[in-house]
Structures are given as C-alpha cells and as structure tokens.
C-alpha cells in the first residue's frame, strides 16, 4: 500500500502545476461533461526510490458552493485519506485570511502537514516564506511550480513522514 500525499490550498496557489511537476507529466484535463473541466486528481509519484500516491484535492469540485466550503471539504478528504498533507500557499499574494482559516482547520488533524510556499520564483519571493511561520505549521518550504525549484527540499520533508 503506497503512502498517500494530498495537496490542499485555496484556488490559484498552483496546486495543479505542482501536482503535474511531481508526477512528471504535463497538465492533463479530463472533460466529463460539456462545459465541465476537471483536473486529473490522482497520480503516482516517486522520490529517492519511494513510490507514493498523490491527490490534488483542488480538482474535487462542488459546483455552486462557496470557496471556503469547497476547501473545507477538500481538507476533510485530505485529513481522511492522506498520510501526509501538503498545504500550499502563494508567496506572491502573501498570507491571506483564507490561508489562516485553512490552517486553523488543518490544526485539528494529527497527520503531518507540510507547508509549501509556491510561486517563490526568485530570491526576493523566497524571502516571503518567513511570513508563513505565523500559520503555526512548521517550516515553510519555498517552491516554484513554474520554474521547478525547491522540489527536492519539499519531497525530502514529505518522505520523512512516510
Ligand atoms: P490551483 O488552482 O491551485 O490548481 O493553481 P494552478 O496550478 O491552476 O495555477 C494557477 C496559476 O498560477 C496558473 O496561471 C499557473 O501557471 C500559475 N502558477 C503556478 N505555479 C506557479 C509558480 O511557481 N510561479 C508563478 N509565477 N506562477 C505559477
Ligand atoms: Mg487546480
């Protein structure tokens, strides 16, 4: 049984981009119904010889529900199914009230939470990681899904919890 890693975070922080980087494939959109697109949400990744299952909870959609309701639902799935939860935030937007709400929701789980600060594309943006210590989820790890940087540190932290 492979360890399960779930990506959680508000829309647009870059979950799907990082997901596709981690599984080494280009974005693959599945169209189920006319007008409905859904990200691919399950895949298998590998790091240092360890295989794991990855879930992009952002691809689990409930139409017509408020954003926080959807994120809470996604976080519930992560807290239930994952061995390690990766909470993703956006260094370019900084800490938001939604991030704080998600963090306090995730504080209820006993499962390990890894804090990934995406869109840290350059050294100045990497400096913003310090702001995210305020979430109380340990060391924030800067990554850039666009540039493919920081993934070694992120994956080391993830597999340390397997
Ligand atoms: P999701 O809603 O969390 O799945 O976010 P997406 O993966 O769909 O990304 C949202 C937007 O952010 C897209 O336009 C991405 O190209 C962009 N994006 C993702 N990762 C990065 C990054 O590391 N740096 C920058 N500058 N943009 C990014
Ligand atoms: Mg997405």
Residue 39 CA to ligand 2 centre (angstroms): 6
What's the pLDDT tens digit per position in 47-90?
999 999 999 998 887 778 899 999 999 999 999 999 999 999 99
ipTM over 0.85: yes
Q: Which atom of ligand 1 is nearest to the CA of 144?
A: 23
In three-state form (DSSP H/G/I as H, E/B as E, the rest C), the secondary structure along the chain is CCCEEEEECCCCCCHHHHHHHHCCCCCCEEEEECCEEEECCEEEEEECCEEEEEEEHHHCCCCCCCHHHHHHHHHHHHHHHCCEEEEEEECCCCCCHHHHHHHHHHCCCCCCEEEEEECCCCHHHHHHHHHHHHHCCCCCEECECCCCECHHHHHHHHHCCC
- What are the chain's domains? 4-159 (3.40.50.300)
Q: What is the pTM of this model?
A: 0.92
Q: List, as residue ranges, the binding site for GTP.
A: 9-16, 56-60, 118-121
Q: State which of 143, 145, 147 you would mutate to test the pocket of ligand 1, scoring each by most atoms of that ligand within 8 A of its C-beta.
A: 145
């Amino acid at each position: 049984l492979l360890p399960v890693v779930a990506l959680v975070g508000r829309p647009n922080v870059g979950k799907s981009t990082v997901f596709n980087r981690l599984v080494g494939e280009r974005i693959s959109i599945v169209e189920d119904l006319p007008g409905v697109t859904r990200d691919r949400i399950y895949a298998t990744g590998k790091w240092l010889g360890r295989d794991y299952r990855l879930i992009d909870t952002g691809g689990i959609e409930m139409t017509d529900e408020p954003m926080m309701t959807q994120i809470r639902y996604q976080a519930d799935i992560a807290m239930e199914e994952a061995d390690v939860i990766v909470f993703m935030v956006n260094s370019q937007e900084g800490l938001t009230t939604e991030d704080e709400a998600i963090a306090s929701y995730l504080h209820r789980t006993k499962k390990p939470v890894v804090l990934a600060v995406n869109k840290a594309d350059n050294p100045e943006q990497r400096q913003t990681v310090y702001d995210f210590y305020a979430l109380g989820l340990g060391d924030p790890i800067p990554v850039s899904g666009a540039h493919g940087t920081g993934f070694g540190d992120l994956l080391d932290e993830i597999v340390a919890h397997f």
